[in-house]
Structure 1
Amino acid sequence: MSAAPAPPRPSAAADRRSWHRRAARPVSGWLVALLIVVVLHPWIPQSRWLLVHMVTLGLVTTSIMVWGQHFTEALLRTRLAEESRPRQVLRIRLLTTGVLVTIAGMLPSWPWLVVAGSLLVSGAMLWYAAALGAQVRAALPARFGVTVNGYIAAACLLPAGALLGAVMAFSPGEPWQGRLLLAHELVNVLGFVGLTVTATLLTLWPTVLRTRIPERAVPRARLALVGMPVGAVGAAAGALLGAPPMGCAFLLLHLGSFLAVAATLVQAARQSRRQHHRSLVPLFPVLSIAAGVVWFVLAQIALLGMWWASADEQLVSTLVAADVQRLTVPLVAGFLLQVLLGAMSHLLPVTMGGGPRATTAGLALMSRGAVPRVVAYNLALAVLVLADLPGESAGALLSALTLGTLDPADAGSLTRVLVSLVAFAALLGFVVTMMLAVRSSVRLRRAASSEAPTGAADGAAPEGPTIASPTGGTTADGPAPDVASPAVASPAAASPAPAAGSMDRRALTGVLVGAGSVLAAGAFGASLDRSRGSVPAAGTGGAGGWSVAPTGRTTTLDLSMVDMRFVPDVLEVPAGDVVVITLRNDDPYDVHDLVLADGTASGRLQPGETVTVETGVITHDLEGWCSIVGHRAMGMVMRVRAVGADGAAGAEEPAQTAHSSGVDELTRVPLDLQAAPGPQHPVRDATLPEAAGPEQRVRLEITETAAEIAPGVTMDAMTFGGTVVGPVLRSELGARLTVDLVNSGSMGHSLDLHAGRVSPDAVMRTIPPGESLEYSITTDHAGVWLYHCSTMPMTVHLAAGMVGALIVPPAGLAAADREYVLVQSDHYLVPAGAPGYDEAMHEGAHPVSPAKISAERPDATVFNGHANQYVHSPLTARVGERVRLWVLAAGPSRGISFHVVGGVFDTVFKEGEYLLRPENENGGGSQALDLAAAQGGFVELVFEEPGTYTAVNHSFADMERGARALITVTA
């Protein structure tokens, strides 16, 4: 009985396809997850960060690792043994794990988990770089080995970028947040991704175009691939050092190096157009990659201009985080995503195999509807980017791109949503065409397998990669197929290219369809925005709807900002004129800006700065205000009055509801006070600090950060020292206390030490960002003293966390066994969806609500900066110990009736004097210490039984908002 024949051994091509399928699974997973998050992002915390990093870390970095290995083998003309494939897949899985860990740490703001994720990502990339280096050393010299060296250099840059991102997870204040974010983007996007993409395009681009790079361009490309990483690293160093000239010089080096390669790519495209191809060059990869390259160049030019213009001596910075984030859409959605999808639309069909017929069919399917998809996507991105940019130039360009159908004043929230949906539909088109291509490939491979003899099912692919240099060799179709290309279809299989006139008509039709979809969505959205009052009705003079014709004239007016006022606060303009406002910040200390109800914005101005703000045609009255938190509530508003526009008086009312989703600002933010504080919130040590001696110097750094004030609820906080409620300071009677106040925030701040007797004019003045002052007092009087920011509006700055306690013990104070400090503060938050919520400095954080402060409707009343933190981490004592509790009502508005459930105070000290001492002649005791806002004192008690005692604000409404602490007493 003969043995059954052994199954045929899979061909090398089949092995490669099997590896690609396993390695590319995470890429498909990230793409599907990205589409899901795009749909659900309004309900996901940190959604902007998540979308950006799903593209950059998930899609792009994983694709680089997969295809970088593929191109390395192709360019070096080697093929690794199949035994090495599991290690490569393991490396990709390590990267995926690192990205998931990073996301798991970032969404709930667990910085140490973000650090762990960044270490995993860095380890995977360094492993990848080492593997490529080993392949270079083992291979013979190759003409385009410089591309592989570019991959290695780029992979070594990512750990540096990951380190910068991990540091940002700890939310450092400005100027460091902006410096780190800028350096992070320079290293990761311009360095890691930019260098990898550029090195790949040197071989992929001629492959897609079925042409070759001229021999003389290769040395220039080698130099460019050296200049780009040097430029990216140097620019990142300039960002970290706060040195715009240095950073801009290195950014120019990077841009110039990339343009040198781009010129070569343009030359290859022109060469391909002059050649005759037996079948049509796949259009989507060409258009998508080209569009991505254009966005990359434009983003670098924009960054160069922003960086140079934003150099600010007072902020001691370059760009703040909000400025850098303007580049996110151009770099991520414009450059990275388009280049990735364009490359995948070419690489996926040629790696799925099935022979020339299947590959040709797959390429054609991936390019189905290429022109309308690419045009719609890029025009939608341009509309979204330009609609958010201030200035006349951005408005004029937006109007030109949309053929006069849309300007920034028309682009309300619904307009943006509808235009974004068009861009999303274009992205979804890639997924649809990919599924069609996969189905076609499977069908044709099965057909080929049933027709071909054994061993020829895959088009008789040779063992090892089929490679031809981009600079050498030709076939009947012109140049030889480049890296990752299959053999070009035989003449019998090739379909003839359509006539040029037919192609031009198809392309024109595609342009009209793509552009028309965006213009229609924009026009429909603008009409909906106007109908619901989000933007002024076009061509009307206000509520009465009277038409106002443009006059063609321009009115230029001066406007000053000083002392929380616009001067003048009414600008009269003939209806129909265009207004140019010369805006000056004449406030010597504070930062201000101007926002008009039609969306025109000046951007933030440091003291002494001037900017020109241009509006569109004035057809009705417009309200304007300063958007710095609390400044509008302080009365920093103005109005542009349209003289001669009938019915204009009521026109400003709809504008005040702009972008409102119907949520009342006074709606309380729900708190889950049964939950434990988040892991990112370390429980504050309530123990009284030790005495510091007769001379003490303290550094208080002002920062602005997102801080948790209740489980799962973060506030856009302004802080002394990085925490809501600043550090507890201690001084002794007659001692000298010197505070070095450093403003590392983005607006003016100050300090008021209630324990000092000094003239407020100098030491309590508001200092601009980047400045510092020295504030010295002698602590001559005992008490629990409040310190706080005294910059107007004070209620906003205090409610944002800028309060703290200075304790000066009275003379002869007896020792206590335990001493704790409890500072009560009240906080007022803008609820999600209410007007002003989207103006938070930190994504996902609640801004402070001036309306709630005015209405005295706090969301949380807390001890030491966090609601109920001492419920889950109680204070401790032992039976018979004397416990002293120092208490301060920091406000800004609420006092306290401090009580310990189950305890009686035998000592009460309030505002510099004892109200009760132990063993007093009346045998009296105290149940509560009553303190108004800004008052302090201490109480003492001795616990006689073990148990759990509760310290509360006996104004129970405040207790139920978080003013509660447990004291665990043991025997």
Structure 2
Amino acid sequence: MRIHDISLAARGRWHILTAALIAGWILVGLGLLIASSLGAPVVWWDIIHPFTIGALTTAIIVFSTHFTEALTRTAGGDYRGVGSRVALVQIGLILLLIDRAGYDWSPLADVASTLIIASLTWHLWFVVRRLRGSLSGSFAVTVPFYIAASVFMIVSVVLVILSGNGVGEYSLLIGAHSRGMVWGFAWLTVIGTVVTLLPTLSATAISPTARARCIRALIVHCAGLGCAMALYAVGLTRAAGVAQLLVVLAALLIIQPVLATVMGRSPRLTTATVAVIAGLLWMLALCAGDAISAAVGAYPRTITLVVLPAFLGAGLLQLVTGVLHHLLPILTGARPNTADRTGYARLLLINLGGLLSLLDAIAAGLIMMGIGLAANIFAVGRALYLQKRLEN
């Protein structure tokens, strides 16, 4: 049966395009990682930014827009606004990669960062406007997580602009910047989304306890992380680690009832479900490890270098590619493919790679996570292609 609904066809084209963009940046990041391992003069940030800004920021803007519209019942079907925000991020990242190829921060990096701030400010305004002007359902309580996440990213980019222009101590500001991006922007978005997404993937009930705790958890998270970032920036790193433990507490307030409800209701354990649960647990454990390490005196940037590969590969990217495997066929008008016999093998590679990256076998860990994630991207494309063929 062919799709004749123009809005559905437009939605399908939009989500295929953005998924291809996300997958493309993941592959670019993996390519730069391989080039660096072979001796090419690739700057560390050139490896990280395709994953964090290219793949993750793009995914977060696209899907938090989708979930905001769904949860506030304000879906408009017009992708020009979100498309423009995504385009600003892509231009900003490309300019940043061009600038960082020269190793030194320059006015071009300021322009790139400003474009990214503009995109996130626009996204923040969009989410606030939709929340205030909606007939919000009971699940719109998770939408403020997207607002707070955008604020943390804007602050984090401002910190890196200051550090690049010689304001404050570079390493300390970068430590605060990385935590605002990781535990503010990315982690808050995940926590807010998982309340409704994981029960949907596993065909179980949404936890009323998690929903009731959302605002309390968000306040605890913002207070803890905001305090921690300020303390990191001025060099009080032990106190910052203690404050960051509030971020762990806030996450537990949400994740514990969500997982208890899901696992207590005979969940549908597809590749997507397991990927989301595994990614969630990885990020929670790494957040606790990051906070405790700082509290006992480890240097913040050293901690970042240790935990970031596992956070990106086994945590966020495992979760994002797992969700795409389920969500993309639905958003493009096809049926989700739950029969994926190689899925667990891919997840095993990713999770073993994450473990090895923490055990000082960084090269082996990165290779395993890279293969698993690349295979996940291929599986998403293959599932979409096969399902669309069936629909046609």
Same fold (TM over 0.5): yes
Map 1:503-542 → 2, pairs under 5 A: none
Deviation at 1:45, TM superposition (A): 3.0
The structure with the largest alpha-carbon Rg is: 1
Paired AA for residue 445 in structure 1: E
Deviation at 1:158, TM superposition (A): 0.9
Q: Which of 294, 299, 317 is the matching residue for 1:337?
A: 317
Deviation at 1:203, TM superposition (A): 1.0
Q: Deviations over 1:151-187 (max 9, x none)?
A: 11211221111122233445789xx233112211221
Q: Deviations over 1:784-814 (max 9, x none)?
A: xxxxxxxxxxxxxxxxxxxxxxxxxxxxxxx
Q: In the alignment, which residue of structure 1 is the partner of 2:343?
A: 370
8 Å CA contact 2:72–2:136 kept in 1: the answer is yes
Q: In the alignment, which residue of structure 2 is the partner of 1:138?
A: 133
SS at match of 2:69: helix
8 Å CA contact 1:178–1:322 kept in 2: the answer is no
Are 2:193 and 1:197 equivalent residues in the alignment?
A: no
Distance 1:323 1:11, change over 3 A: closer
Q: Deviations over 1:549-603 (max 9, x none)?
A: xxxxxxxxxxxxxxxxxxxxxxxxxxxxxxxxxxxxxxxxxxxxxxxxxxxxxxx
Deviation at 1:224, TM superposition (A): 1.0
Map 1:472-621 → 2, pairs under 5 A: none
Map 1:845-924 → 2, pairs under 5 A: none
Q: In the alignment, which residue of structure 2 is the partner of 1:102?
A: 96
**Mean Cα deviation higher: 325-334 or 434-443:** 325-334
SS at match of 2:328: helix
Q: In the alignment, which residue of structure 2 is the partner of 1:284?
A: 271
Task: Please state which structure has a larger fraction of its residues in helix.
Answer: 2
Q: Which runs of 5+ in 2 are unaligned?
A: none
Deviation at 1:220, TM superposition (A): 1.2
SS at match of 1:144: helix
Distance 1:323 1:154, change over 3 A: closer
Q: In the alignment, which residue of structure 2 is the partner of 1:268?
A: 261
Are 2:375 and 1:429 equivalent residues in the alignment?
A: yes
Are 2:73 and 1:77 equivalent residues in the alignment?
A: yes
8 Å CA contact 2:357–2:363 kept in 1: the answer is no
SS at match of 1:111: coil
**C-alpha distance in 1 between matches for 2:100 and 2:149:** 25
Distance 1:323 1:213, change over 3 A: closer
Are 2:353 and 1:380 equivalent residues in the alignment?
A: yes
Q: In the alignment, which residue of structure 2 is the partner of 1:67?
A: 63
SS at match of 1:80: coil
Paired AA for residue 137 in structure 2: A
Q: In the alignment, which residue of structure 1 is the partner of 2:80?
A: 86
Q: In the alignment, which residue of structure 2 is the partner of 1:54?
A: 50
**C-alpha distance in 2 between matches for 1:215 and 1:419:** 38
Q: TM-score, normalised by structure 1?
A: 0.38
Deviation at 1:94, TM superposition (A): 0.9
Distance 1:421 1:252, change over 3 A: closer
Q: In the alignment, which residue of structure 1 is the partner of 2:23?
A: 28
Aligned pairs, how many? 388
Q: In the alignment, which residue of structure 2 is the partner of 1:45?
A: 41
Q: In the alignment, which residue of structure 1 is the partner of 2:302?
A: 322
Q: Deviations over 1:99-121 (max 9, x none)?
A: 11112111212412222111100
Q: In the alignment, which residue of structure 2 is the partner of 1:295?
A: 282
Are 2:345 and 1:352 equivalent residues in the alignment?
A: no
Distance 1:231 1:196, change over 3 A: same
8 Å CA contact 2:141–2:211 kept in 1: the answer is no
8 Å CA contact 1:368–1:433 kept in 2: the answer is no
Q: Per chain length, whose mean CA-contact separation is higher, i.e. which structure has more relative contact order (CA < 8 Å, sep 6+)? A: 2
Deviation at 1:256, TM superposition (A): 0.1
Distance 1:22 1:442, change over 3 A: same
Q: In the alignment, which residue of structure 1 is the partner of 2:236?
A: 243
Distance 1:172 1:27, change over 3 A: same
Deviation at 1:219, TM superposition (A): 1.4
Deviation at 1:442, TM superposition (A): 2.4
SS at match of 1:272: coil
**C-alpha distance in 1 between matches for 2:197 and 2:150:** 19
Q: In the alignment, which residue of structure 2 is the partner of 1:621?
A: none
Q: Which of 245, 252, 255 is the matching residue for 2:245?
A: 252
Q: In the alignment, which residue of structure 2 is the partner of 1:19?
A: 14
SS at match of 1:375: helix
Deviation at 1:437, TM superposition (A): 0.9
Distance 1:267 1:334, change over 3 A: same
RMSD value over aligned CA atoms?
A: 2.3
8 Å CA contact 1:213–1:264 kept in 2: the answer is no
Q: Deviations over 1:405-458 (max 9, x none)?
A: xxxxxx6xxxx5455433322122112212211220221121xxxxxxxxxxxx
Q: In the alignment, which residue of structure 2 is the partner of 1:755?
A: none
**C-alpha distance in 1 between matches for 2:80 and 2:187:** 28
Q: Which of 153, 161, 164 is the matching residue for 2:156?
A: 161
Distance 1:254 1:89, change over 3 A: same
**C-alpha distance in 2 between matches for 1:243 and 1:371:** 43
8 Å CA contact 1:56–1:336 kept in 2: the answer is no
Deviation at 1:253, TM superposition (A): 1.1
8 Å CA contact 2:244–2:291 kept in 1: the answer is yes
Q: Which runs of 4+ in 1 moved over 6 A?
A: none
8 Å CA contact 1:227–1:254 kept in 2: the answer is yes
**Mean Cα deviation higher: 253-262 or 369-378:** 369-378
**C-alpha distance in 2 between matches for 1:305 and 1:215:** 31
Q: TM-score, normalised by structure 2?
A: 0.91
**C-alpha distance in 2 between matches for 1:9 and 1:298:** 46
**C-alpha distance in 2 between matches for 1:260 and 1:102:** 37
Q: Deviations over 1:118-175 (max 9, x none)?
A: 11000001101111111112211321212212111211221111122233445789xx
Q: In the alignment, which residue of structure 2 is the partner of 1:623?
A: none
Paired AA for residue 82 in structure 2: Q
**Mean Cα deviation higher: 42-51 or 261-270:** 42-51
Q: Which runs of 5+ in 1 are unaligned?
A: 1-7, 276-280, 312-318, 388-410, 447-971
**C-alpha distance in 2 between matches for 1:177 and 1:427:** 32
**C-alpha distance in 1 between matches for 2:206 and 2:319:** 19
Deviation at 1:236, TM superposition (A): 0.3
SS at match of 2:138: coil
Distance 1:137 1:304, change over 3 A: closer
Distance 1:320 1:158, change over 3 A: closer
Are 2:201 and 1:232 equivalent residues in the alignment?
A: no
Paired AA for residue 379 in structure 2: T
Paired AA for residue 278 in structure 2: A
Paired AA for residue 374 in structure 1: L
Map 1:407-486 → 2, pairs under 5 A: 417-446=363-392
8 Å CA contact 1:158–1:188 kept in 2: the answer is yes
Paired AA for residue 265 in structure 2: S
**C-alpha distance in 2 between matches for 1:320 and 1:421:** 25
8 Å CA contact 1:109–1:169 kept in 2: the answer is no
Q: In the alignment, which residue of structure 2 is the partner of 1:872?
A: none
Are 2:147 and 1:152 equivalent residues in the alignment?
A: yes
Q: In the alignment, which residue of structure 2 is the partner of 1:887?
A: none
